[in-house]
Amino acid sequence: MIKYRNNIPKLLENLKKAGKKSVQVGVFNSDVATYAAANEFGVPSKNIPERSFIRMTLNKKEVQEKCRDALEPLFNVNEDPMQALDKVAAILTAEVKRTMTTAEYKPNAPETIKRKGPGKNPLYDTGTLQKSIMAKVV
């Protein structure tokens, strides 16, 4: 005897549940957000060059593939779609932090080098910016 289960309604329910959600990555701490935006986009009038760490991460093919793979469980009717979105959030948080420490950025200005010391990553001083990176499902 062949037993058939129509999983399409559950699949549609999972996709509908996930479709109302999105994953946001960035700095949600208002005390750090201005500093983060200044580095992400640059502020020419203050001699701060663009040092993208969020957009650069999101544009990486390997990051996009990791996120796509993490979303695959949305099509498994026995999986909770929120777990897949939470996994994407964790991936994005880790990948943005990795980009901040591994990407090559325009060096700091001489006055910044005097304060921070030579050879320092332009996006790292106290670690506050990197610790403020997070992703959330909304």
Asked whether residue 1 carries a pLDDT value surpassing 90, the answer given is no
The pLDDT tens digits of the residues spanning 3-40 come to 666 666 766 776 677 677 889 999 999 999 999 999 99
pLDDT value at position 51?
A: 96
pLDDT value at position 2?
A: 61
Give which of 134, 130, 115 is closest to 35, Cα–Cα: 130
pLDDT value at position 53?
A: 97
Q: What's the chain's Rg over C-alpha atoms?
A: 20
pLDDT value at position 59?
A: 95
Give which of 87, 64, 85 is closest to 14, Cα–Cα: 85
Instruction: Classify burial at 54, counting beta carbons within 10 Å of its beta carbon; exposed 0-12, middle 13-18, buried 19 or more.
Output: buried
Which residue carries 């910016």 as its tokens?
A: 129
pLDDT value at position 84?
A: 87
pLDDT value at position 82?
A: 85
Residue 135's DSSP bridge partners are 25
Would residue 26 be called left, alpha or beta, if left means φ above 0 and alpha means ψ between -120 and 50 degrees? left
Asked whether residue 113 carries a pLDDT value surpassing 90, the answer given is no
The pLDDT tens digits of the residues spanning 48-94 come to 999 999 999 999 999 999 998 998 877 776 777 788 899 999 999 99
- 29: Cβ contacts below 8 Å, ≥ 6 apart: 132
Instruction: Classify burial at 57, counting beta carbons within 10 Å of its beta carbon; exposed 0-12, middle 13-18, buried 19 or more.
Output: buried
